[in-house]
Amino acid sequence: MKTSAIILRVADFLKGFPPFNYLPDEALLELARSGRVQFCEKGEILFDQGTTHGRYFHVINKGSVRLVRGEEQRLSDLRGPGDFVGAGAVLGEESHTDSALVDEDSILYALDASVFTRLCAESPRVSRFLKVYFASEEVETETAHHQGPSDWRGGREEHLARLKAGMVTGPSTQTVREAASAMSAADSPVFLVVEPDGKAAGVVTETDLRNEIATGRVPTMAAVGDIMRRPVITVSPQATPQDALLEMIRHGIRHLCVTEDGTPQSRALGMISENSVSLAQGRNPLALVREVRRADSPSSLRAMGEELDLLLAGDLSSADDVPWCTRLAAEARRAMFRRAELWAREKAGPAPGPFALALTGQAGRGELLTATNMAAVGLTSDDEKTRAWTQDLLGRIDEGLAAAGFPAATTSDAQEPGARYRTIGEWSEFFCSLVRDPIGGEIWKQMAFFDLSDVAGDPAMLEAVFTALREEMAARPNFIRLLANDALGNLPPVTIYEGYAVEADGLARETIDLQDYALGPVSDVARVFHLDGGDLHATGTFERLAAAARRFPQGADVFAQGARAFRVAQYFRAGQGLRGGDDGRELRPAALNRTEQVQLKSVFRDIGTLIAFTANHYGFKG
Amino acid sequence: MDSKAEPRYVVFDCETTGLDPSKDGILTIGAVAVRGGEICLDDEFDAILSDWRMTSAVLVHGITQAESARGETEAQAVNKFLAYVGDGVLVGHHVGFDQKIVAHAARRLGRDLPNPALDTMRIALALEERGAFDGREIRGFDLDSLGALFDVEPHDRHTASGDAFITAQIFIRLERMARKAGIALANLIERDDQEHEAR
């Protein structure tokens, strides 16, 4: 079918925006051909909330559309060129969840929803994008595929030259003894058996030699063709370290053959070993943690912290990686803390009496994707010597951590002098007085203390404090409700529009503090449900939300959405922080690509839903 | 609103070998329908004609000899276009010329083009006389100036389909303004007659 320039023009416009760019050209043309071009003036209503979806949904070509909800016409989104409105029918919604008002004179493409629905069903990527757009699901970001160490040590050319130079090859008729000798001479762990035309025929590894020769199963004069492994798994010279790693994992092998076109049908160029992949990937996480435990100075710890950041930046290629990377980061940074604590204890000498150390706030929850401050608090026995010793120990740990590159506590984390170490009785009284008079005690400044996790010393001391706190909380059920009220304070922005974060009152901000407006609200809500369940040991926000979903199944979806939002916000923050070498809090939405902006919008929406659920659960007006 | 009850406007443009409808021929025809204030993308027309030699006009319109060679004969294209237009109201910028050159081609086939036509330039002038532009600065009444006034992207300018699409986007605004200003488009209708001057 011949396609006119008009249809091509509309299809071209659509192609510039997700999810239309995921559709094949033919599908895009079909969609464009199904449509109408409309001009709408400022103030016109496209559709009203609650009305059923019509035949068409709209893609904004020029101008903007405001989505509002409820009688008070609360802003729920602002959409501009490339955004679409009224497409809920595609996801099976019966009626419009918002009203759509034309915000300025606009050109809209009205496209046939049934055609789009069919095309979406044929494209999983489009369907997935729409779920993010309308509800809550993560989408692969464009950048996800480009993050991390995507190149080989020294670059691709050097990598190819290296693997060519290191390749040990021979015909299948060569004896095992000759092959072993060639491998030994070249210090190569692998021997590639090649055909006369240079194609890979099989592989013999050191392990094969050990298994076959050393055990006497095969004589050393046997031909390598008799013991070689086949088929040879091949990759192209363009394969990245991640590609190579995936292939190795997929086939359970430690060597890959690089061929001219990536198939076994072309000439072999060299061998990639697991070692070269892990060198390019940064460091083996387990090896890194082992090294942290053996670090001999704060400066070496600092270098390991930088390596950890590199490793995380490499592994964090989508929001799905956040939970695993969070666990890895927490393990590694807590190991760093323990190392600093060990040095401090070596200098402070033996403890005069019982003591314990606990991490607070993000460190207590183990949410340490970026290097945040690791300020610990101390529990000490009630004698002056141990008090002084604990104070000295905390100071030395702070010094060690600072020298190891950890940021110092910010003013909001600072506590009054002497408040970082207390006896069990003093800590118990501190918590109980907060529970008795949360407002007078300015509890909102002290929330980090409700995320305590023991890190050194006698864990029973922290348990004793928890017992006292638990009893006090049980006696004052209104305390949790007040905590919930506090957790509802920082509402996330409503949307991202033209690179600005737009709040419900229309205020537009160029940057957004991810901690205050995205991560903080979720972790605050998660803490409320966690404490409400009577558990005082700090756990991570993901675990808390999962536990809340088990206790309140009617909110399971909302908690899952909150966890997703937390994961995506962590991903943005960590990505920024690991790239920028800071804590990644400040995010400029304008710096995000369109897909990422859509993700961020869904983060805000999900957090809004979680906050509304929490407000409702504890009897506040949403 | 039931758009079926609305008149069907056929916004069209021709690229031609010259400016004399009696001698010159059509290189391409592009058209799209407007109904109920909307441009109907499922109701459009596009034809390249093969039987005209290359002239300087191709430099303006960017049609290559190869493209033209793949096109249709004048008879095929004009017959199809007449069928596409049906009883629609023709719309164009300086529509008189396009109307005339299609009418000449139709006559060569023993057919005619009796359809009424609306000139977007005349509508714009009528609106200007009524003060309907409300103080907005108008640089001129040519297609580029009106496009700029309404913020219409000048994509594919000087191609028949491109110009038809631009004209259609201008027309849906003018139509709306005319309705507000109480101007009946029917009063601005032109018909092809022998006295009508070519542009």
Task: Report yes or no: A137 and A131 within 8 Å, Cβ to Cβ.
Answer: yes
CA distance B194 to chain A (A): 32
Answer yes or no: is B194 within a domain: no
- Spell out which residues of chain A touch residue B151, defining contact as CB-CB under 8 Å: 62
Q: What is the pLDDT of residues B29-60, one digit of tens each?
A: 999 999 999 999 999 999 988 765 545 555 44
* Element of type H or E holding A122: helix A113-122
Q: Is residue B102 part of a domain?
A: yes
Interchain contact A41–B (C-beta under 8 A): yes
Smallest CA–CA distance from B29 into chain A, residue: A4
**B81–chain A Cβ distance below 8 A for any pair:** no
Residue A340 makes CB contacts below 8 A (sequence gap 6+) with A298, A301, A397, A400, A401, A404
Could you say which of A10, A41, A107 has the minimum Cβ distance to residue B41? Answer: A10
Estimate to the nearest angstrom the gap between the alpha carbon of B120 and the chain centroid.
Answer: 9
Among A4, A38, A62, the residue with its CB nearest the CB of B44 is A4
Quote the CATH superfamily of domain A156-280: CBS-domain (3.10.580.10)
**How many folded domains does chain B comprise?**
1
Residue A200 bridge partners (DSSP): A194
B135 belongs to a structural domain: yes
Instruction: Tell me whether residue B196 is in a domain.
Output: no
Contact B37 A33 (CB under 8 A): no
Sign of the C-alpha dihedral, residues A530, A532, A537, A538? positive
Chain B: residue whose CA lies nearest to A108: B38
> What is the distance between the terminal CA atoms of chain B, rounded to a whole angstrom?
37
Q: How far is B115 from chain A (nearest CA, A)?
A: 23
B71, amino acid identity? G
| Across B157-162, average pLDDT | 84
Kindly give, in sequence order, each residue whose CB lies less than 8 Å from that of residue A77, ignoring residues fewer than 6 positions away: A66, A67, A98, A494, A495, A601
Question: CATH no. for residue B57?
Answer: 3.30.420.10
Q: What is the DSSP letter of A520?
A: H
For A12, the closest chain B residue by CA position comes to: B155
Ranges of chain A with pLDDT below 70: 1-3, 132, 134-151, 153-154, 242, 245-246, 248-252, 275-290, 409-418, 581, 621-622
What is the share, in percent, of chain B residues with pLDDT greater than 90?
52
* CA–CA–CA angle A343, A448, A444 (5° rounding): 150
Residue B63 lies in a domain: yes
Q: Dihedral sign for Cα A414, A418, A423, A426, please.
A: negative
Is the model more confident about B198 or about A167?
A: A167
How many CB pairs lie under 8 A apart between chains A and B? 59
B77 is a domain residue:
yes
The C-alpha atoms of residue A419 and residue A175 are separated, in whole angstroms, by 74
- Chain A residue numbers touching B155 (CB-CB < 8 A): 9
Report CB contact under 8 Å: B39, A62: no
Own/partner pairs, B102-111, CB within 8 angstroms, 24+ separation: B102/B14, B102/B26, B102/B29, B102/B78, B103/B21, B103/B192, B104/B21, B104/B22, B105/B25, B105/B26, B105/B74, B105/B78, B106/B78, B106/B82, B108/B74, B109/B75, B109/B78, B109/B79, B111/B78, B111/B79, B111/B82
Residue B189 touches partner A, C-beta closer than 8 Å: no
- Chain centroid to Cα B182, Å, comes to 24
A110 CB near a chain B CB, below 8 Å? yes
A5-135 maps to CATH 2.60.40.10:
no
Are A348 and A394 within 8 A, CB to CB?
no
Confirm or reject contact between A144 and chain B (CB < 8 A): no
DSSP-derived pairing of the beta strands A508-509 and B26-35: unpaired
Task: Collect all residues of chain B within an 8 Å Cβ-Cβ radius of residue A5.
Answer: 30, 46, 156, 159, 161-162, 165
Q: What is the pLDDT of residues B111-154, one digit of tens each?
A: 999 999 999 999 999 999 888 887 777 788 899 999 989 988 88
Partner residue facing B44 (CB), from A7, A34, A39:
A7
10 Å CB burial of residue A283 (0-12, 13-18, 19+) is middle
Strand order in the sheet with A495-497: A495-497, A500-502, A508-509
Closest Cβ–Cβ partner in B37, B41, B151 for A33: B41
In this structure, is residue B199 part of a structural domain?
A: no
Asked if A7 reaches chain B (Cβ–Cβ under 8 Å), the answer is yes
Round to whole Å and give the CA distance between A338 and A166.
Answer: 42
Contact A16, B53 (CB under 8 A): no
> Which is it for strands B117-119 and B89-92: parallel, antiparallel or unpaired?
parallel
Please name the residue that has the structure tokens 């020769």.
Answer: A213
Q: Phi and psi at residue A440, in whole multiples of 5°?
A: -60, -35
- The β-bridge relationship of strands A234-235 and A255-259 is parallel
Q: Which residue has the tokens 């001479």?
A: A185
Non-local (6+) Cβ contacts of B161 within 8 A are A4, A5, A6, B13, B28, B30, B31, B32, B44, B46
ipTM exceeding the 0.95 mark:
no
- Sign, CA torsion A552/A556/A561/A564: positive
Chain B nearest-CA distance from A30, in A, is: 9
Q: 3.40.109.10, 3.40.50.300, 3.40.50.620, 3.30.460.10: which CATH number matches A321-470?
A: 3.30.460.10
Inter-chain residue contact B156 with A107, CB threshold 8 Å: no
Of B38, B44, B45, the CB nearest to A38: B38
Of A162, A229, A223, A234, whose CA–CA distance to A198 is shortest?
Answer: A234
pLDDT of residue A142: 37
Tokens describing residue B141: 């009444």
Per the structure, the complete domain to which residue B71 belongs is given by 3-188
**Which residues of chain A have a CB within 8 Å of the CB of B70?**
none
Query: Who among B41, B156, B162 is closest to A36 (CB)?
Result: B41
> β-strand A421-423 against A376-380: which pairing, if any?
parallel
pLDDT score, position A140: 42
Q: List beta partners, residue A205.
A: A190
B98 within domain boundaries: yes
What DSSP assignment string belongs to A134-185?
A: HS------TGGGG-S--S-TT-HHHHHHHHHHT--EE-TTSBHHHHHHHHHH
Q: CA of A583 to nearest chain B CA: how many angstroms apart?
A: 43
Tokens of B169: 């986007």
Q: For residue B149, give both structure tokens.
A: 């006034």
